[in-house]
Amino acid sequence: MLDIKEMEGDGSQPLLSGQNGSSTPGMNFMTPAHFLSDFAAGGGGDDADLGGEGEDKGRESLSVASEAAGQAKGRKGCVSKLCVLATVGVLAVLGVVGFFLGGPSIAASELNGSSVAFTRLTMSDPSADDYSFEVQADVVISDVSPLDGTIGEMAVDLIYKGTKLGRLQMPAIDVKAGQDNYKSVDSQRFVVEEDARDVWDEFSNAMLMEGTVDWTLEGTASVTSSVLGISMTFDNLDFHKEIPLTCFDGLDDVQMSVFDLTQSTPDQILVEMSVCLKNPSDISISDLGDMYFGVYYGESYMGNVTAASAKVEVTKDDASSVGCEQFGATGYNLIPMFGNLEPSDHDAADELMSRYLSGQDTAVSAKALSPVADSLPMFNQGMQGLSLDTTLNGDETPLIVGIEFKSATISPVNNDALNMAMVADVSMQNPLGPESPLYITEVNMVVDMSYAGATVGTAKTFDTNVPEPNEVKGNSVLTVPAFALLELPDKGAALTKFAKDLINLDSLDTGLLGDTSTVAYCPALGYSMNIAGVPIVLPNEDTAPPLPPVTVQGMGGLKDVSILSYSISGVVPDGTDGCTEMCGLVMGVTARVNNPSPFGLEIGTLNGELRDGNGVTLGTVGTDPATNFVLSPGINNVTMTGKMSPQGDDAILAAADFMSAYMNNSAQVTTVYGTDAGDTTVSWLNDIVNGVELSALFPGAGDDFEALTEIDIKSMDMELTADGRVRAASTVRARLNVPPEVDQSIILDVDFSGMKFDLIDVDSLSHLGRIELEVADVPVIYEDGYITATFDKTDLVIKDFEGMQKCVKDLMVGPSKNVLMKGTASPHVKTGMGVLQLSEVPFEGQTIMYGYNNLLDPVSGDPEMKITKIDIASGETGKLNMLIDVEVINPSNVKPELGAVTMELWTYNETDADSGFKIGEVTVEDFILDANEDKNAVTTFKAVPATYITPTDGKKSEDAGSLFLSNFVSGINQTAALRGAADGSGTDRDLLKPALAAMRSSSDVPGLVGNLLRRSTMHLPNPFGHDSLYNLPTDLYVYNPFSADMTMTSSHCDIYPCKEYADDSYTKCKTWYEESAGYYTPDALDETVKAGETKKLDTKEVKLNSILSREMIQTLFSSAGGGALIKLNGTMGVSVGDFHMDVYVAEHDVPICLAYAGSLHDCDAR
């Protein structure tokens, strides 16, 4: 029997190489030398053994013949070329004759000794109606010997277990002796004999289940070969080959490539799976039809899948299908399968899904369904009993892909545990896809939470109901409220770090490692699945894409803190906590704390230090232990109470700065620095609280807060210096305010206060000037919330010269002026928390500067300036120099110091202050008016130089001047107008010039007190002289009250005797006669009366109007009896130095005495 070998070529070489380069057609089964050798040995015929031992003998004989020929050649000594050629020819002829005689035996031996193997068998296009398909094969023919040749085309029967399955048409095949000869059998239709279909079913089953299957090829062959260019064909040779076919061997290498449930619908769980089958054979089946399997987990049926139009095209030497390369480079076929899950055992299904979703590999089987395992009848029976056993790899796509904490409030239990009430958004990938929902009704998680490489704790939620909406479809986010117990390692050491970083950082990356058991209702299955051990691994670098850690938004340092309200309500009582005095200020604050993190912390009590922006401790505050403070996610209102009690010099200075900035309405950073959590026994809670910082801008006192109000200038001294400066001193009283949130009682005393302020004109808003005073320069008295500050003269630095001029002018001519004092105070304050030097506390207050009102009473309008005395000092042409005493009532509380001031004297017109005639000037060399709070301070000026200037602007002005002097001399009080020079020349202070130019005042000018004519003596006329009875000799006694000599130059004064006396003293006349008795005197006068002296003028006649008139008789008899009174009205010429004046005089109650011989009285004695 022929030995048929299985060839394991890779199919890349041609099956047959034809003549392999030979130029002679046909197949050379035996060479001529072989033939001759064999023939000489007596071989040949049907029994000739052309191979093996016979061949060796032929070669041996040929060698002996050759050797004999050589010896003969040697013996003869010569061999010609002709002899050689003849010998070869004879041998060739003998070989051809031998080939023709032994050819059939050689051809049969050639066929029987060769081996045939299939290197590839391809089955395709199977028929659904009959057992037929397209077949194509690659074969290799080996062990061909001894001649090359051609096996002719032939039909062969394919026989299995003695039954012909069908016929296969083989093409002509050229073969080479001693080589593997490859040949492709063209695709052809192979039809299984109808009566052999049962055997075919056995064959197909064996092909699937067994490693090799033996089948037989039978037919009649023809062989063609040639010798020396002579070709011969031998027909009707039997062809019988038993060929072992390498088969699928039960397909025991099955790898799961894809398992996908995401195409599921609301009504069905659809499974899409792809398996990679290892084909250990050279058989390629391009269409197996639809293959039907049942999916099993253990012995539990899970559902059906179908491999539609399945094919196993990749043979053992072919490159693996795309999608299967990971299992091996060659031989793996990708078989997609589709179906649905309908588990018969819910518990088993839950276990399978739990393992799958938890990433555990699970053995599953796809078993061919019975009785229909394939849609093609020719494969259906063969499929029976086929089981594709594989491993369902755990799902590499996690069910839970992210967790975001929406809220989580930590509540301490003890040093080893805490409770956490949380709401988390769980991002899930529904393994059933976007159309088949799962309704998560319950979860139970056990998860290790880690941070910064350490385990914070193990969280256990226990069975937690999930409220609606709880539907998960595709990629969904499920909101799960849960209550967890977190067991803490190392007494909460890692928790402390986590919590501190949570408070201080904007975000933190945490890890979760654990699993959850889940109850999920699946409408597609119609029951609630219990899925155990679903892993929670965040972060997870092994997934695609990798899953990030759980990022928790931190509190970011709790930067969004604002103070809603605060109070400083009083003083901590002396003796508190061992403190003797100034033990602090009672304070409280309510702050709005925005916690941006989803995490909160139940603290209970938060105690801390109150610190300023530089970290200096100003006091202590804490929450009320009874309120159980919880720092929750979002907005928190936190109320803390305590005291401001700075300790040490640095803290006192910081407190002063803090209060100064506060009263300056400057918001400033203030921090509550956590120290402890009260009396809690949970050490990690204290550790967390220690160092917590709540920083906020402590608000200023408010936009409408003014530290000083009710500003009242009690008195002021304003000096206008010769060098153009303004120097001011003042006593100011004002209310020292505290904001409404602060109790006034915190201020115990104020003893000094620096001040820096601008003086502002309220009307023009001009900043007139600025005063700056050091603390030590301003002593203060504090009483009932008011301070009274006094400062000595200091420069008021002029900032607006013209504005200051206007202010001075307004004060000069008006009753008051509203000014604004705007600046800062730096009070040295004794408070309930210590003595503080506050700095630059702003204030702005309006106050009144009372003006001089043109030195007129602001109510009545009467002059506040009164000339009380006038003394004539000298005279010169047109000018009468005087010294006057002046009394001024200051209607202001401002003391002016104005230097030398010259005011003009004008005749007074009550209805028109700008009319009249200038009659003189008054110069006060150092104009200073006392001032007081009552605005009635009196200043007296003595011997103030004044000048009467004779008006020269015409008759009216001259008359007005004469009238002024006449009234004065006559003792008549009168009013004179006072004005400053229109050009401002009345002062050398530029600031004062506009004010003085605008001044319109007046003054009472008293008449001369007492008569110049002190008395007169009349002598009896000479009765015998011509007109002597009309001429009455008279002596006048004239008093000069002035400091300058006075010369009487003329007099024409009518004499009016007294008609009725006021009393018996005869010193005061009640009624005067209306008609003059005469006048004094027609005589010329030139009498000088020394200053301050009384002089009897030379005797002059009184010219009587009638002789012995009633008036004269009464006067004479009265005067003869000891005295009478007369009045004189008229003119008088008077000169003082070079100044001459003619004035109208009215002398009243002038005593007159009649002197005659023998009188009983002495007129001189009167």
pLDDT score of 9: 38
Residue 1142, burial from CB neighbour count under 10 angstroms (0-12, 13-18, 19+): middle
CB-based contact 421:446 (threshold 8 Å): no
pLDDT in tens, 796-817: 999 999 999 999 999 999 999 9
Q: Is 894 helix (H, G, I), strand (E, B) or coil?
A: strand
Residue 545 has φ and ψ, to the nearest 5°, of -75, 165
Check residues 812 and 65 and name the one with the higher pLDDT.
812
Task: Please tell me the distance from the alpha carbon of residue 430 to that of residue 437, in angstroms, as a whole number.
Answer: 8
Cβ neighbours around 710 below 10 Å, total: 15
pLDDT score of 520: 94
Average pLDDT on 64-87 reads: 46
The token pair at 473 is 């479809």
Looking at residue 194, what DSSP letter applies? Answer: G
- DSSP output for 1139-1151: EEEEEEEEEEEEE
Task: Please tell me the distance from the alpha carbon of residue 595 to that of residue 692, in angstroms, as a whole number.
Answer: 13
Q: Is 642 helix (H, G, I), strand (E, B) or coil?
A: strand
Residues forming beta bridges with residue 601, ordered by sequence position: 410, 631
The token pair at 880 is 């009468």
Give the range among 22-31, 61-70, 1032-1041 with minimum mean pLDDT: 22-31
In sign, the C-alpha dihedral spanning 1133, 1134, 1138, 1141 is: negative
Task: Please tell me the distance from the alpha carbon of residue 108 to that of residue 117, in angstroms, as a whole number.
Answer: 19
Average pLDDT on 104-120 reads: 80
Looking at residue 526, what DSSP letter applies? Answer: T
Residue with tokens 């709005």: 592
C-alpha count within 13 angstroms, C-beta hemisphere, residue 446 = 4
Give the range among 710-719, 856-865, 1018-1027 with minimum mean pLDDT: 1018-1027
Task: Please tell me the distance from the alpha carbon of residue 780 to that of residue 786, in angstroms, as a whole number.
Answer: 10
What is the identity of the amino acid at 488?
L
pLDDT score of 543: 87
Check residues 1023 and 895 and name the one with the higher pLDDT.
895
Residue with tokens 């029994």: 47
Mean of the per-residue pLDDT values for the chain? 88
CA 991 to chain centre: 55
pLDDT in tens, 886-914: 999 999 999 999 999 999 999 998 888 88
Looking at residue 210, what DSSP letter applies? Answer: -
Instruction: Name the pLDDT band for 60 (thresholds 50, 70, 90).
Output: very low
pLDDT in tens, 531-590: 999 999 999 998 888 999 999 999 999 999 999 999 999 999 999 988 999 999 999 999
The token pair at 21 is 């380069």
Task: Please tell me the distance from the alpha carbon of residue 499 to that of residue 602, in angstroms, as a whole number.
Answer: 12
Give the range among 222-236, 425-439, 1127-1141 with minimum mean pLDDT: 222-236
Share of the chain above pLDDT 70, in %: 88
The token pair at 1089 is 């009366």
Query: Would the pLDDT of 84 be above 80?
Result: no
Check residues 841 and 81 and name the one with the higher pLDDT.
841
The token pair at 568 is 């400083």
The DSSP element (H or E) to which 812 belongs, if any, is: helix 801-813
Share of the chain above pLDDT 90, in %: 75
Query: Would the pLDDT of 45 be above 70?
Result: no
The token pair at 75 is 């013996």
The token pair at 412 is 């301490």
Task: Please tell me the distance from the alpha carbon of residue 294 to that of residue 272, in angstroms, as a whole number.
Answer: 13
Check residues 1160 and 432 and name the one with the higher pLDDT.
432
pLDDT in tens, 1078-1098: 999 988 899 999 999 999 999
Task: Write the secondary structure of 430-468 as one string of H (helix), E (strand) and C (coil).
Answer: CCCCCCCCEEEEEEEEEEEEEECCEEEEEEECCCEECCC
CB-based contact 1144:1131 (threshold 8 Å): yes
Average pLDDT on 872-889 reads: 96
Distances in Å between the Cα of 863 and the Cα atoms of 381, 420, 814, 965, 1110 are 144, 90, 14, 20, 46
Task: Please tell me the distance from the alpha carbon of residue 466 to that of residue 424, in angstroms, as a whole number.
Answer: 11
pLDDT score of 1158: 62
Residues forming beta bridges with residue 354, ordered by sequence position: none
The token pair at 852 is 């001089």
Task: Please tell me the distance from the alpha carbon of residue 209 to that of residue 964, in angstroms, as a whole number.
Answer: 158
Q: Cis ω on the peptide bond leading into residue 371 (within 30° of 0)? A: yes
Task: Please tell me the distance from the alpha carbon of residue 667 to that of residue 577, in angstroms, as a whole number.
Answer: 31
pLDDT in tens, 127-154: 988 899 999 999 999 988 877 889 999 9
Per DSSP bridges, beta strands 400-414 and 387-392 are: unpaired
What is the identity of the amino acid at 689?
V
pLDDT in tens, 333-371: 999 999 999 999 999 999 999 998 888 999 999 999 999
Phi/psi zone of residue 724: left (φ > 0), alpha (ψ -120 to 50 degrees), beta? left
Residue 898 has φ and ψ, to the nearest 5°, of -110, 5
Residue with tokens 């290498």: 253
C-alpha count within 13 angstroms, C-beta hemisphere, residue 111 = 27
Q: Is 1131 helix (H, G, I), strand (E, B) or coil?
A: strand
Q: Give every CB contact of residue 26 below 8 A, 6+ residues apart in sequence.
A: 148, 149, 150, 224, 225, 226, 230, 231, 232
The token pair at 180 is 């593997």
Residue with tokens 């904490």: 405
Buried b (16+ CB within 10 A) or exposed e, 237-250: bebebebebbbbbb
Query: Would the pLDDT of 18 be above 80?
Result: no
pLDDT score of 36: 33
Instruction: Name the pLDDT band for 26 (thresholds 50, 70, 90).
Output: very low
CB-based contact 338:308 (threshold 8 Å): yes
Distances in Å between the Cα of 820 and the Cα atoms of 87, 844, 891 are 155, 7, 21
The token pair at 223 is 């062989």
Query: Would the pLDDT of 109 be above 90?
Result: no
Alpha helices by DSSP H, 475-543: 493-504
Looking at residue 33, what DSSP letter applies? Answer: H
Q: Give every CB contact of residue 38 below 8 A, 6+ residues apart in sequence.
A: 30, 44, 48, 50, 54, 55, 57, 58, 98, 102
Task: Please tell me the distance from the alpha carbon of residue 760 to that of residue 806, in angstroms, as a whole number.
Answer: 12
CB-based contact 613:668 (threshold 8 Å): yes
Distances in Å between the Cα of 610 and the Cα atoms of 124, 224, 558, 694, 1080 are 90, 116, 16, 10, 101
Query: Would the pLDDT of 312 be above 70?
Result: yes
pLDDT score of 49: 41
- DSSP output for 331-345: SEEEEEEEEEE--S-
- DSSP output for 948-1000: EE---SSHHHHHHHHHHHHHHHTT--EEEEEEE-TTSTT-S-TTTHHHHHH-E
Average pLDDT on 1018-1040 reads: 79
Query: Would the pLDDT of 920 be above 50?
Result: yes
Residues forming beta bridges with residue 531, ordered by sequence position: 518
Query: Would the pLDDT of 1102 be above 50?
Result: yes
Radius of gyration of the chain (CA): 72
pLDDT score of 148: 86
